[in-house]
Chain A
Amino acid sequence: MGLLEKFLQIDRRWIFLAIAIAVVVPFFLPMGLPVVVTKPVRDLYNAVDAIPPNSEPLFISVDYAPSTIPELDPMTLAVLRHAFSKDIRVVALTLDPAGYGLAERALESVAREYGKERNKDYVYLGFQPGIAAVVLGMGTDIKGVFPEDAYGTPLSEIPMMDGIRNYDQIPLLITMASSGVIEAWVIYAHQPYGARIGAGVTAVMATDYYPFLDTGQLVGLLGGMRGAAEYEELIKHPDAGVRGMDSQSVIHVLIIVLIVLGNIAYFGSKKRSQEAKEPAA
């Protein structure tokens, strides 16, 4: 077997090793690559920025599972930091049972950073099952769907939730999702009730939602770790998103190199076998 054929049959574990090195090394040798902000991220940032301080709250729905923490946690933290730094009140909820702990953790860690108090500056509603039922229910009566917060306090006893009946009193709702929950927010909140929806998704899903941006059904979109890095750039608080950009850059280049090498080896080996079949002159 020639060298090219051997290269084509390489044990996939060597490729895994190359990827592991490409991910880990930039964390120890940061390159500090600049992050350019794109329009969908800027639009979402502007929409959050336009919310007046200490008035109607920003709603954040943490609809992702632990598997997508590396992409979606940084953007959730960045949006929370933006809101709390401008004294924008926040109400968090989740439609994914696995998102319960993630939402709580994100909310409490950023609230501590900015000295925010629960039920005064932010409320955590917790989880309710039944995605479409919850989103639709919030359009008529939020307290009907979430009668209490996640800790058992009736919403009617939380002053911050006074007058917050349905989507009419929500200036913006951002869903951080790793599944098709975003369609539920658009179909059941935006379309019938005119709710303003923004979204943060994994990079793979981001391309699915460009049509929604174009039609105005989403006010803005954060896509993957790049989206998180751009938002961190806007709020001038670099964190995991910006840090991850170096590794992501190296991996993308490595994958392109692997594709090119794979094609060179494939066509080289194909040419060789064709030459071997041709009769000698």
Chain B
Amino acid sequence: MRGDRGFPVRTRFAAGPVVALMAVSALFLCPHAVPAQAQDEAAPTQAPPLAAPTSVTLRDAPDDRGGAVDVSWTLSADDTDGRVTSYTVYRSTSPDTGFVMAGTVAKGIGRFGDGGLPDRTPLYYKVAATDGATESLSPVAGPVMASPQWFYRGRLIVMIASLLFIFAVVGFVRAAKAGKDLFIRRLAGLDHMDDAVGRATEMGKPILFITGLSTISDVATIAGINILGEVAKKTAEYNTRLIVPCADPIVMAVEQEVVKQAYAKVGRPDGYSEDDVFYLTRSQFAYVAGVNGIMVRQRPATILYMGMFYAESLVMAETGSAIGAIQIAGTDAVTQLPFFITTCDYTLIGEELYAASAYLSREPVLLGGLKGQDAAKAAIGLFVVLGAITATLTALGVMPVDFIARIFANS
């Protein structure tokens, strides 16, 4: 850990009258150590001085915004026998004077991160092993200078993987734009969306659309809003009421615009009612209470859950089941999937929700993006299998080095 602590250094000497003069001379010569001879003569039972830490190594902390230095050292020889209680690190801008305490670490730890330092300023360090009463100092090491870096080397693998992924997605999008036919398997939940909307229209009851409790920055919410746009077009065509209670004000603003545009697109702008796409509350179970109240009073024929859900999912879905509504759910919240599967007629699992906008619109560009994802997933699957094989072979001693693990070691 880096940081200044500012704790005062404490030292204590205990000596009888015979030793006092020798101890004073020792103090004058060497302020932080008691000579072994003086120790033996004065108090035969006094322990020998602590062994100092050695090989103090300094380096500018890598992959940071500057102001930090990493100090490491070889532990004191007395560390293992329990005499050393901690190490104190001292810092100065000069090799001879002006040392201040930079921090302390517990015994057994041979490194310290110092932070809050000025950049490009030569710094010197020394490390003391202490037993609480005495200190034993290493030689001074330095100079070292803290400086900022322009690139996180530890994230190189992430950057390469991200670029490859982007190329895959863009490549498939271009292929789709060029007219290549891209296959997507059937998604039952989305296929039955038309039937669900039709059912509500026939029964003269509204459709309730819930995009979950998360914010607009959640991809599941965006996926839900995409589906809302498609459903709103259908409800506009069939003149079926669409109720959309929202748990986030920004999501509400986006959903109002999406539904309004959908109604305008099919030539029914007068059919849109802003009061039907409204903010309910941010609070999880207050939202559930509100939605359940709408279900019990308005008795929608169709309920669609598309987005991010938490523990409230079962309370809503069970109430929907109790009023006899047809329910279609889609979420990437794996903990809520079992609840939706037991209570809803159809469920979209995980990324099937993200595929919805491509699936429903059949736009080549969106389909291309989906295939790019699949390509990336295949690549990851390949690395998982390879990694499992190399890890197993390395553990069995067949392979000397697990090169797959090494590639990802510092990312």
Direct contact of A and B (CB under 8 A): yes
Q: Which residues does chain B contribute within 8 Å of A163, judged by CB atoms?
A: 3-6
Binary per-residue interface labels of chain A (84-121) against chain B in the complex, 1 for a CB within 8 Å, 0 otherwise: 00000000000001100000000000000000000000
Binary per-residue interface labels of chain A (41-53) against chain B in the complex, 1 for a CB within 8 Å, 0 otherwise: 0000000000010
Query: Taking CB as reference atom, which chain A residue is nearest B7?
Result: A55
Separation of A12 and B285 alpha carbons in the complex (Å): 22
Query: Taking CB as reference atom, which chain B residue is nearest A71?
Result: B311
| B43 CB-CB contact with A under 8 Å | no
| B283 CB-CB contact with A under 8 Å | yes
Q: Which residues does chain B contribute within 8 Å of A12, judged by CB atoms?
A: 322
The answer to whether A204 touches B335, judged by C-beta atoms less than 8 angstroms apart, is yes
| A38 CB-CB contact with B under 8 Å | no
Stretch of A148-156, A165-173, A232-240, A249-257 contacting B (4+ beta carbons < 8 Å): A165-173
A68 CB contact (under 8 Å) in B2, B6, B311: B311
Return B360 CB to nearest CB of chain A, in Å: 26
The answer to whether A178 touches B311, judged by C-beta atoms less than 8 angstroms apart, is yes
Given contacts A204-B311, A208-B335, contact A171 B283 (CB under 8 A): no
Query: Taking CB as reference atom, which chain A residue is nearest B313?
Result: A204
The answer to whether A169 touches B3, judged by C-beta atoms less than 8 angstroms apart, is yes
Interface of B is mostly: loop
Binary per-residue interface labels of chain A (131-150) against chain B in the complex, 1 for a CB within 8 Å, 0 otherwise: 01000000000000000000
A65 CB contact (under 8 Å) in B4, B116, B285, B308: B285
Return A53 CB to nearest CB of chain B, in Å: 13
The answer to whether A168 touches B1, judged by C-beta atoms less than 8 angstroms apart, is yes
The answer to whether B284 touches A65, judged by C-beta atoms less than 8 angstroms apart, is yes
Given contacts A65-B283, A179-B310, contact A208 B334 (CB under 8 A): yes
| B62 CB-CB contact with A under 8 Å | no
Separation of A202 and B116 alpha carbons in the complex (Å): 38
Given contacts A168-B115, A171-B1, contact A98 B310 (CB under 8 A): no
Given contacts A165-B116, A168-B113, A178-B311, contact A98 B3 (CB under 8 A): no
Query: Taking CB as reference atom, which chain A residue is nearest B282?
Result: A97
Query: Taking CB as reference atom, which chain A residue is nearest B308?
Result: A180
Return B318 CB to nearest CB of chain A, in Å: 9
Given contacts A204-B311, A208-B334, contact A67 B6 (CB under 8 A): no
The answer to whether A205 touches B3, judged by C-beta atoms less than 8 angstroms apart, is no
| A207 CB-CB contact with B under 8 Å | yes
Given contacts A65-B285, A178-B311, contact A205 B1 (CB under 8 A): no
Q: Which residues does chain A contribute within 8 Å of B217, judged by CB atoms?
A: 132
The answer to whether A202 touches B113, judged by C-beta atoms less than 8 angstroms apart, is no
- Category for how many chain A residues contact B: 20 to 34
Return A36 CB to nearest CB of chain B, in Å: 24
Q: Which residues does chain B contribute within 8 Å of A180, judged by CB atoms?
A: 214, 308, 310
The answer to whether B1 touches A169, judged by C-beta atoms less than 8 angstroms apart, is yes
Query: Taking CB as reference atom, which chain B residue is nearest A140?
Result: B65
The answer to whether A205 touches B115, judged by C-beta atoms less than 8 angstroms apart, is no
Separation of A241 and B262 alpha carbons in the complex (Å): 50
Separation of A171 and B105 alpha carbons in the complex (Å): 12
Query: Taking CB as reference atom, which chain A residue is nearest B6?
Result: A163
The answer to whether A168 touches B3, judged by C-beta atoms less than 8 angstroms apart, is yes
Q: Which residues does chain A contribute within 8 Å of B113, judged by CB atoms?
A: 168
In B76-133, the 8 Å CB interface with A consists of 106, 113, 115-116
Return A21 CB to nearest CB of chain B, in Å: 20
Q: Which residues does chain B contribute within 8 Å of A97, judged by CB atoms?
A: 282
Separation of A52 and B106 alpha carbons in the complex (Å): 10
Q: Which residues does chain A contribute within 8 Å of B322, judged by CB atoms?
A: 12
Separation of A56 and B5 alpha carbons in the complex (Å): 10
Looking at A52, A180, A208, the one whose CB has the most chain B CB atoms below 10 A away is A180
Return A89 CB to nearest CB of chain B, in Å: 14
Query: Taking CB as reference atom, which chain A residue is nearest B106?
Result: A52
Q: Which residues does chain A contribute within 8 Å of B335, judged by CB atoms?
A: 204-205, 207-208
Separation of A240 and B267 alpha carbons in the complex (Å): 59
Return A216 CB to nearest CB of chain B, in Å: 13
Query: Taking CB as reference atom, which chain B residue is nearest A67?
Result: B285
Separation of A65 and B282 alpha carbons in the complex (Å): 11
Q: Which residues does chain B contribute within 8 Å of A67, judged by CB atoms?
A: 284-285, 311
Q: Which residues does chain A contribute within 8 Å of B115, judged by CB atoms?
A: 165, 168
Separation of A207 and B336 alpha carbons in the complex (Å): 11
Q: Which residues does chain A contribute within 8 Å of B116, judged by CB atoms?
A: 165
Separation of A205 and B106 alpha carbons in the complex (Å): 36
Return B374 CB to nearest CB of chain A, in Å: 22
The answer to whether A168 touches B284, judged by C-beta atoms less than 8 angstroms apart, is no
Q: Which residues does chain A contribute within 8 Å of B214, judged by CB atoms?
A: 180
Binary per-residue interface labels of chain B (1-35) against chain A in the complex, 1 for a CB within 8 Å, 0 otherwise: 11111100000000000000000000000000000
Query: Taking CB as reference atom, which chain A residue is nearest B339?
Result: A204
Separation of A186 and B53 alpha carbons in the complex (Å): 35
4 smallest A-B Cβ distances: which pairs?
Answer: A67-B285, A168-B2, A169-B3, A204-B335
Known contacts A67-B284, A168-B2, A179-B284; can you find 12 more A-B pairs with CB under 8 A? Answer: A52-B106, A65-B284, A68-B311, A163-B5, A165-B3, A168-B3, A168-B115, A171-B1, A180-B308, A204-B335, A208-B334, A208-B335
**10 A–B contacts, CB within 8 A, in A order:** A12-B322, A56-B1, A67-B284, A97-B282, A162-B6, A168-B1, A168-B115, A169-B2, A179-B284, A202-B311
